Structure 1
Amino acid sequence: MKIISTITILVLFGFAIVKIGFSQYGKEASVSEKSTVDYSQTKEIYFAGGCFWGTEHYFKQIRGVTATEVGYANGTVANPSYEQVSKGNTGFVETVKVNYDPTKADLKLLIDLYFKTIDPTSLNKQGNDIGTQYRTGIYFTKKEDEKIIRGEIERLAKNYNSKLVVEIAALRNFYTAEDYHQDYLGKNPGGYCHIPADLFEKARQANPPTRYNKVDKKILKKELTPLQFDVTQNNATEKAFDNAYWNEFKEGIYVDITTGEPLFISTDKFESDCGWPSFSKPISDSLIAEKNDKSFGMSRTEVRSKTGDAHLGHVFNDGPTEKGGLRYCINSASLRFVPKDQMKAQGYEKFIPLLEKSDKSK
């Protein structure tokens, strides 16, 4: 059977959409990126690791992964449905398309993390899922990626006594799965998953940022929840007594939700009965920018993160006198809390002494 491959590159108003099509199947497999992604940096790779629900959710947690999409790869019929693929006779494999920024997460790292979610010696079976549609595989669209993939597989094979059965092949075709399969575990947190839950947290911790940079609003719109975006970018205020950290007093560090930069430490947090997290001071004054705020007919001092330029909240002069008299009233939606026992894994080890120093002073 003759296969005709075409590569069409369309550049429109500075945005590129690259499509790799196969006329045998009647429908082109689209390999595209949203306009918020830097095309000069983004690459793509396709992973099959059993049920694609868990595999997609896992890769979503990794810093540097810019987009994911579940679908069916390298089969022999046009426009397959989930029902067709699930019969196991179409040649298709449940696959996750992973777009990533190689300056933040390179292909070797992604392969290494992928191996933590599979049994690479198990043929056509992962967890409770059995059939050729659940085989393991890595599929590439760039020939130069093949050498990297095979090299990593050869290296990782030394850790196993049995032969590895991970398929390595060029991507021949890829059809996007039905909408209800996309981000399935994000929409259904209690849904079935063959990947142990603790691996999702390990994926989040696996590649901590080494530096903090302001993130483009278009990217934040995609990565943050609507409330987090509205608070940090539009100066909104979340509801009092109805937010993540107003009554959180575990040991740990609070970081900018937009950049990951450390801002506050738990030992400077106190109960203020205002319904929002309250701190006596930031970790360093250099991390915070203060601005006059005349909104809503009031005169207040707004607090923003200096690097991320994210709206955090306001600072007032009614804090505990023994702690300096200030109250940094901060929106939970502008923060991410990292517990003390996870600080080292997430790259905040140097701030642990701040917690230990406070313990000794008690």
Structure 2
Amino acid sequence: MGKKRFSVLLVAALLLSGCSTPLVGREREEKAEMDLDKTENVIYLAGGCFWGIEALMQSIPGVLDAQSGYANGTGPEDAAYQTVCTGTTGFRETVRVEYDPERVSLDALLLAYFYVIDPTVQNRQGNDIGSQYQTGVYYTNDRAKETVERIAAIERGRSQAFFVEIGPLVNFYPAEEYHQDYLAKNPGGYCHIPREEMELFAGLRIDPGDYQKPAAEIIRDKLTAEQYRVTQESGTERPFDNAFWDQFEKGIYVDVVTGEPLFSSTDKLKSGCGWPAFSKPIEAAAVVERPDVSFGTRRTEVRSRAGDSHLGHVFAGAPESPNGVRYCINSAALRFIPYAKLEAEGYGYLLDLFGS
């Protein structure tokens, strides 16, 4: 698995009280010590049943290994499925993810994780209830800590409640063999993550790690007053009086704050809404949708993934759209990159959006 590991004796002060049952199919001597992972490019993700998170991470290009296990619990004597299921051990069903940073960023993995979990609930995900299903992100080094805390701050800001545990890895023990690669062994097996969401990340091309959100003071200096009002204060520009509402030039539209690609002219609609309208984003995961009940209405807000910029709203039942969906986006939230300049501006990897 390419891990660099070393073992130290468990410190008694880290042990919590909990139930214990005999370990099955494991060597007690091996389990009597705790493995501390010192691999640099690794992250530990607790997101409900580990079968789904493991399969999700394995589907992402650049992930080298994903292993199901139990993290941040009482100790090795309790790191067995039947014991963890009692809910008395503090263990979370967790997936150890090792990745190649040349192929995928930690930002991408974390944002994929947050895309499929519900951060607003405690001790449950989907139909699974219990402390072992508590969500959490656990890091093992300072570089990962900085990224985790930065992404967690973004996710916390766009969630009405946030119960994801964020902190260092205390301990981790691999789960029993029958849990490893469970959905590969059992393609029809239970998973709390919808299969269509998993498929979104199997073809990941836009890496949000390449488009990180700048510091607040940089954003303020970079944007015009109107761009700042729209993207940072969830404002709305005037319809029919903005840069792109009636533009149909060939190219892509990127987040004005981060440069992350969001929409393509190939999906732009001739809509009477007065703002740029699109049938879909370039990649579904590049935007975040959340309920908006402001102004006494029920709408679905659209925000950018990496920059968390307010973009606009998405509506169903749009007759002008081939899929019945209309993303109504503020021009002030976008920057347009003409097709002829994609390569020069670092977006050459999206040229195939326009065919040969």
Give the TM-score taking structure 1 as reference length.
0.50
Question: What letter is aligned with 1:69?
Answer: Q
- The corresponding residue for 1:74 is 72
1:223-281 deviation line (CA, Å, top 9, x unaligned): xxxxxxxxxxxxxxxxxxxxxxxxxxxxxxxxxxxxxxxxxxxxxxxxxxxxxxxxxxx
Q: Distance in 1 between matches of 2:33 and 2:122?
A: 30
- The alpha carbon displacement at 1:64 in A equals 1.1
- The alpha carbon displacement at 1:22 in A equals 4.0
**3-state DSSP of counterpart to 1:116:** helix
Instruction: Determine if the alignment matches structure 1 residue 64 to structure 2 residue 62.
Output: yes
Q: Distance in 2 between matches of 1:98 and 1:117?
A: 16
Q: Distance in 1 between matches of 2:168 and 2:36?
A: 15
- The corresponding residue for 2:178 is 180
- The alpha carbon displacement at 1:20 in A equals 4.6
**3-state DSSP of counterpart to 1:112:** helix
Question: What letter is aligned with 1:206?
Answer: L
- The corresponding residue for 1:108 is 107
Q: Distance in 2 between matches of 1:152 and 1:195?
A: 21
In structure 1, which of residues 15, 23, 28 is the aligned counterpart of residue 10 of structure 2? 23
Bigger Rg over Cα? 1
**3-state DSSP of counterpart to 1:207:** coil
Change in CA separation of 1:124 and 1:27 when aligned onto 2, cut-off 3 Å: same
- The corresponding residue for 1:153 is 152
Q: Distance in 1 between matches of 2:74 and 2:127?
A: 25
- The corresponding residue for 1:201 is 199
Q: Is the 8 A contact 1:54 1:195 kept in 2?
A: yes
Q: Distance in 1 between matches of 2:3 and 2:68?
A: 22
Change in CA separation of 1:142 and 1:156 when aligned onto 2, cut-off 3 Å: same
Change in CA separation of 1:22 and 1:49 when aligned onto 2, cut-off 3 Å: farther
1:308-358 deviation line (CA, Å, top 9, x unaligned): xxxxxxxxxxxxxxxxxxxxxxxxxxxxxxxxxxxxxxx67527635xxxx
- The corresponding residue for 1:90 is 89
Percent identity of equivalent pairs: 41
Q: Is the 8 A contact 1:63 1:208 kept in 2?
A: no
Count residues with an aligned counterpart: 194
In structure 1, which of residues 44, 49, 70 is the aligned counterpart of residue 47 of structure 2? 49
Change in CA separation of 1:22 and 1:98 when aligned onto 2, cut-off 3 Å: farther
Q: Is the 8 A contact 1:22 1:29 kept in 2?
A: no
**Correspondences of 1:1-362 after superposition (within 5 Å):** 17-24=4-11, 26-29=32-35, 31=37, 43-79=41-77, 80-160=79-159, 162-207=160-205, 350=352, 353-354=355-356
- The alpha carbon displacement at 1:204 in A equals 0.7
**3-state DSSP of counterpart to 2:355:** helix
- The alpha carbon displacement at 1:101 in A equals 1.0
Q: Distance in 2 between matches of 1:20 and 1:138?
A: 22
Q: Distance in 2 between matches of 1:103 and 1:135?
A: 31
Give the TM-score taking structure 2 as reference length.
0.51
Which stretches in structure 1 are left out of the alignment for 5+ residues? 1-14, 34-41, 210-346, 355-362
CA RMSD of aligned residues (A): 2.3
- The alpha carbon displacement at 1:30 in A equals 6.0
Q: Relative to structure 2, which stretch is displaced further, 21-30 or 140-149?
A: 21-30
- The alpha carbon displacement at 1:158 in A equals 2.4
Which stretches in structure 2 are left out of the alignment for 5+ residues? 12-30, 208-348
Q: Is the 8 A contact 1:62 1:207 kept in 2?
A: no
